[in-house]
Structure 1
Amino acid sequence: MAIQLKPIDQQVIVITGASSGIGLATADMAAERGAKLVLAARSKETLDSIVRRYAEQGVEAVAVAADVGVRAQVAEIAEAAISRFGRIDTWVNDAGVSVYGLLEEVSEEDSRRLFDTNFWGVVNGSLAALPYLKAGGGALINVGSEVSEAVIPLQGMYSASKHAVKGFTDALRVELKLGQAPVSVTLVEPTAVNTPYPQHAKNYTDREAALPTPQIDPAKVADAILDAATHQRREVKVGMMAKINTNMAHLAPTIADWMASKQADRQHYDEPPRDRAGALYEACEKGAGPCGRTHGLGARGEV
Structure 2
Amino acid sequence: MQILHSLDPLRRAVAELRQAGTASGTPQATIALVPTMGALHEGHLTLVRAAREKADHVVVSIFVNPLQFGAGEDLDKYPRQLERDCALLKAEGVAAVWAPTVEAMYPQGFASSISVSGVSDGLCGASRPGHFDGVATVVCKLFHQVLPDVALFGEKDWQQLAVIRRMARDLDLTRPHADAVLGVPTVREVDGLAMSSRNAYLTPEQREQAVTLPMAMKVAIAGIEAGEDVAAATARLKDALLAGGFSSVDYAELRDADGLALLDSRSDAPMRLLVAARIGSTRLIDNMAVSPR
State the TM-score, normalized to the length of structure 2.
0.41
Q: Which is higher, the Rg of structure 1 or of structure 2?
A: 2
TM-score (normalised: structure 1): 0.40
